[in-house]
Amino acid sequence: MNKKELKQMFLEKYGESNRSYRVFNAPGRVNLIGEHLDYNGGYVLPAALEFGTTLVIRERDDQKISFSSTNFSFESTISLQDDFEKSGQWIDYPVGVINELHKLGYRFSKGYDLLYHGDIPNGSGLSSSASIEVVTAYALLVMEGHETDTIEIAKLSQKAENLFVGVNSGIMDQFAVANGRKDHAILLMCDTLEYDLVPFHTGAYKIVIANTKKQRGLVDSKYNERRSECDQALEILKKELSTLSFLAQLRPEQFISLQDHIKDETIRRRAQHVVEENQRVLDSVEALKKGDLETFGQYMNQSHDSLRYLYEVTGDELDAMVEEFQRQSGTLGARMTGAGFGGCTVALVHEDEVDRVIKEVAHHYEARTGLKPEFYVCGVGQGVHEVKEML
Ligand code: GLA
């Protein structure tokens, strides 16, 4: 949908007015490495995408907020004076954010008409929900003349998702969407929320994201299961090391000396993934700083293996996609990205080979799984921002 069409659609839904529009955008995210580490207090390395959610917003005269979207048919209007209730629809994401803003003491001076347009495929694991949350918080704060602290916005958006929507996710997605910087990855320490922007210059290599099109049906229950397995590992290891507050605090050599205290083999493997993946993120950043993309690609491959065999969050489709990429010359590395159990993979592919690699991978993946994948060749985009030039 282009800008003109979006403006037209806004007018069709909400009618003409002498009040002016403003337009905001929040990107999706891809996690380059460091999976299932955010809720274990470790390092992650996500980057903002060049596509995301655009929000057109205009003031209205009453104390109501209207929601509509080009992606979903469900539309609704809520009153800012009533209690906010869950509807089981997509608007739970923005309503959850408004609820959090209220809890933080923000009161709106007026109502708003909102139209969302997302170009992140829903359910693909590229954080369409985080982009809706973050763009809502940012836009409303700007409209009301408040400061926009993008770290606070990430935190309140995560709370909206955890407490209102009821999905127990970590901070990574909202943080990346709120704080991403063009051509940079974000090295985020999830325990303290300290972060560094790491230049992500891929030279002749492109980021290729592949959507397996596998429905992520089990994602919530399995995600919560992994979180509780990590909690169990932490409880056991805390008895040996009382200063331990997060699993990812353990260095690999410490883990080796403590691991026998975890009797359950499954729980031990989960903890091993967390500790080793955390180290891999730090090693990856060193490789990127030296411009050594080959080594970075190897870490991506190792990360996938760890998620496949130790953390067990991949599944046939993600494994097939990653294997097909890894078989291609011109690919430096490939791995699943996000929660797993479906969704997307990310690979680094030489620009001269991208078209051929995508064709081959698509062909073999479809033959193996019966699913028609989608591919996005993209660069690293900007975190949440106002789109000044748009309407
Ligand atoms: C999902 C969650 C994130 C993170 C990843 C796994 O995307 O929303 O918080 O835990 O899974 O790394």
The pLDDT profile of the chain, 391 residues, written as one tens digit per residue, is 787 899 999 999 999 999 989 999 999 999 999 999 999 999 999 999 999 999 999 999 999 999 999 999 999 999 999 999 999 999 999 999 999 999 999 999 999 999 999 999 877 899 999 999 999 999 999 999 999 999 999 999 999 999 999 999 999 999 999 999 999 999 999 999 999 999 998 999 999 999 999 987 666 789 999 999 999 999 999 999 999 999 999 999 999 999 999 999 999 999 999 999 999 999 999 999 999 999 999 999 999 999 999 999 999 999 999 999 999 999 999 999 999 999 999 999 999 999 999 999 999 999 999 999 999 999 999 999 999 875 5
SS3 341: coil
Count Cβ atoms below 10 Å from residue 352 Cβ, excluding itself: 11
Q: Calculate how far, in angstroms, residue 143's C-alpha sits from the geometric centre of ligand 1.
A: 30
Residues with CB under 6 A from ligand 1: 31, 35-36, 38-39, 169-170, 172-173, 338-339
- The number of the ligand 1 atom at minimal distance from the alpha carbon of 31 is 12
The domain at 3-201+381-386 falls in which architecture?
2-Layer Sandwich (3.30)
268, 259 Cβ separation under 8 angstroms: yes
Rounded to whole angstroms, the Cα distance separating 133 from 121 reads: 16
What pLDDT sits at residue 391? 55
SS3 186: strand
Per the listing, tokens 């929040």 go with 26
Angle of CA points 122, 125, 130, to nearest 5°: 75
Alpha-helical segments (H) within the chain:
3-14, 92-103, 128-143, 150-159, 172-179, 219-240, 252-258, 265-289, 293-305, 316-327, 354-369
306, 273 Cβ separation under 8 angstroms: yes
pLDDT tens-digit readout, 166-223: 999 999 999 999 999 999 999 999 999 999 999 998 999 999 999 999 987 666 789 9
What pLDDT sits at residue 218? 60
> Where exactly are the structural domains of the chain?
3-201+381-386
Of 168, 107, 160, give the one whose Cα is nearest residue 136: 160
Q: Calculate how far, in angstroms, residue 224's C-alpha sits from the geometric centre of ligand 1.
A: 11
Per the listing, tokens 């320490």 go with 189
Give, in order, the Cα–Cα distances in Å from 206 to each of 209, 315, 330, 355.
10, 25, 10, 11
Nearest alpha carbon, ligand 1 atom 8? 169
SS3 212: coil
What residues are labeled active site?
A: 173
Nearest alpha carbon, ligand 1 atom 2? 169
